[in-house]
Amino acid sequence: MTPSARLAATLDLLTLIDETPRPADSLVSGYFRARRFIGSKDRAFISSETYDILRHQARLNWWLTYLGQPITARNRFLTYLKLFEKKTQNEIDGLCDGGQYAPARLEPEEKKLIASLKGHTATHPNMPEEVVGECPEWASEGLKKRFGKNLSKHLDVLLRPAPLDLRINPLKTTREKAAANLMHLGLDVGVTPYSPWGLRIHNRPALGQITMLKEGALEIQDEGSQLVALLVDAKPGERVVDFCAGAGGKTLAISAQMQNKGRIIACDVLANRLKRSAERFRRAGLHNIETHPLTSERDPWVKRHKGAFDRVLVNAPCSGTGTWRRNPDARWKSLGPGLDALIPLQASILESASRLVKEKGRLVYATCSLLPQENEEQITRFLENHPEFKLVPVQECGAALSDLPKTGDYLSLTPAEHKTDGFFAAIMEKLPQSKNETKDISHDED
């Protein structure tokens, strides 16, 4: 593809993302599936350019507002070319020449926009800190509470693209064999510092060339997510529930930890995602997993299985602030409940799932959020209302995790400090009945 054609495809994608209420990653994947003629190098450029523009949306929108220009995908695109790629007026004119595979010619108002940006940088002295850090208003208070005077450093790291983390399936390969296979493909591969099952690729591979992914020997999974699954510390032969299993990434890791022995039930209210996960389980050679769709977190299935499981993982729906490196559109695109609705939902899910835990069993609560409201504050409230549970420091869990980062009693990962996505996990153990002084009042009526 010519440089103009690449930019035209980028602009098509940006417009599609603006107009379609779906996550950017699924729209990008669908766009390329419908255009198989686009080669791998062109796909890599178009994807990178698209995500980079999404990462800088707050500043681009600020400039358009400052200059009195409409906020559109095309105007953001032109502003990006000028401020971030430092292209001249003539260069942008040449790229947007209206040819068959090029963006349309510049209108007079667009030429005026580009001229107005001459001599400026991406950041203006009048920009608020949140705009410079590409932080939406809804997350600002929580992130300030979490990071204080170090907020800018953490926001800056969240703007950088994330590497590709992979998890080996120990039932099919070893980390050494998988690393050798990936290096043979010319990939820049290293081991993850905390997860014993993780590999990190620093360049951008075409995933189709990694046959171990197709064979179920490798799975795409951020190191932070791997650590959450490993902290469940499930043993072979135990009974385990992944209460918000989604597409099954952590379910796969837990099942492998159990050496395919025992029983793990993957639950979710999104039945279609569970159905799709079945193929991943089959490919990985795992047969101790069952799926069970729920009508809600208060599904009658929960009451029927009260106290029946050794381990229960609640990977709660959350704001996703810890994944902004991978999902920059999540800052601005509201595709589910807002924070005000998520916090009570998380509490309800945690309370309901806690009923499944047997005495001396463990309940693991996790999010991919950096916000205290979704993390520490949720656990504090839960433990205040449920004296039948006690907090277990994460350093005491998981024999395979001897190199856990020191983050206190909770697992609390950040991209800036640990080079993972932002993840939080808390582990709680259910006390034997004889030690309870408070009757269990966990809403058995539903």
Q: What is the pLDDT of residues 386-437, one digit of tens each?
A: 999 999 999 887 655 667 888 889 999 999 999 999 999 999 999 998 644 4
Q: What is the DSSP letter of 166?
A: E
pLDDT reported for residue 439: 46
Alpha-carbon distance of 71 to 56, in angstroms, equals 13
- What pLDDT, in 10s, does the model give residues 306-325? 999 999 999 999 999 999 99
pLDDT reported for residue 441: 41
Alpha-carbon distance of 183 to 9, in angstroms, equals 31
Residue 293: CB atoms within 10 Å: 16
Alpha-carbon distance of 171 to 216, in angstroms, equals 10
Long-range contact pairs involving 94-97 (C-beta distance under 8 Å, separation at least 24): 95/3, 95/4, 95/7, 96/4, 96/7, 97/4
Q: Phi, psi at residue 153, to the nearest 5°?
A: -60, -45
Alpha-carbon distance of 291 to 254, in angstroms, equals 14
- What pLDDT, in 10s, does the model give residues 275-311? 889 889 999 999 999 999 999 999 999 999 999 999 9
Alpha-carbon distance of 12 to 37, in angstroms, equals 16
CA atoms within 13 A on the CB side of 56: 22
Q: Is the pLDDT of residue 339 over 80?
A: yes
Q: At 23, is the pLDDT very low, low, confident or very high (cuts 50, 70, 90)?
A: very high
Count of residues making up the chain:
446
- What pLDDT, in 10s, does the model give residues 398-408? 655 667 888 88
Residues annotated catalytic, as ranges: 368
Alpha-carbon distance of 299 to 312, in angstroms, equals 16
Q: What is the DSSP letter of 85?
A: S
Interhelix angle 3-19/40-55, nearest 10 degrees: 50
Q: Is the pLDDT of residue 151 over 90?
A: yes
pLDDT reported for residue 419: 95
Express as a percent the part of the chain with pLDDT over 90. 87
CA–CA–CA angle 134, 137, 142 (5° rounding): 95
Question: In which residue are the tokens 């204080």 written?
Answer: 148
Q: At 250, is the pLDDT very low, low, confident or very high (cuts 50, 70, 90)?
A: very high
Cβ-contact 370, 157 below 8 angstroms: no
Q: Is the pLDDT of residue 446 over 60?
A: no
pLDDT reported for residue 403: 77
Alpha-carbon distance of 200 to 192, in angstroms, equals 6
Per-chain mean pLDDT for the chain: 93
**Cα dist. 242→61, 127, 311 in Å?**
40, 43, 9
- Chain-centroid distance of CA 234 in Å reads 23
Cβ-contact 39, 5 below 8 angstroms: no
Interhelix angle 137-147/151-158, nearest 10 degrees: 120
Tokens of 324: 């902004």
Q: For 98-127, what is the mean pLDDT? A: 94
Q: At 182, is the pLDDT very low, low, confident or very high (cuts 50, 70, 90)?
A: very high
Q: Is the pLDDT of residue 20 over 50?
A: yes
pLDDT reported for residue 442: 43
Tokens of 403: 């190199």
More confident of the two residues 173 and 443: 173
Residues with Cβ within 8 Å of residue 363, at least 6 apart in sequence: 312, 314, 350, 353, 354, 357, 389, 427, 428, 429, 430
Express as a percent the part of the chain with pLDDT over 70. 96
Question: In which residue are the tokens 């349309």 written?
Answer: 104
| pTM over the 0.85 mark | yes
Q: What is the DSSP letter of 161?
A: P
Domains of the chain, start order: 3-131 (1.10.940), 164-220 (3.30.70.1170), 223-435 (3.40.50.150)
CA–CA–CA angle 177, 180, 181 (5° rounding): 85
Residues with Cβ within 8 Å of residue 226, at least 6 apart in sequence: 165, 167, 192, 195, 197, 198, 253
Cβ-contact 320, 330 below 8 angstroms: yes
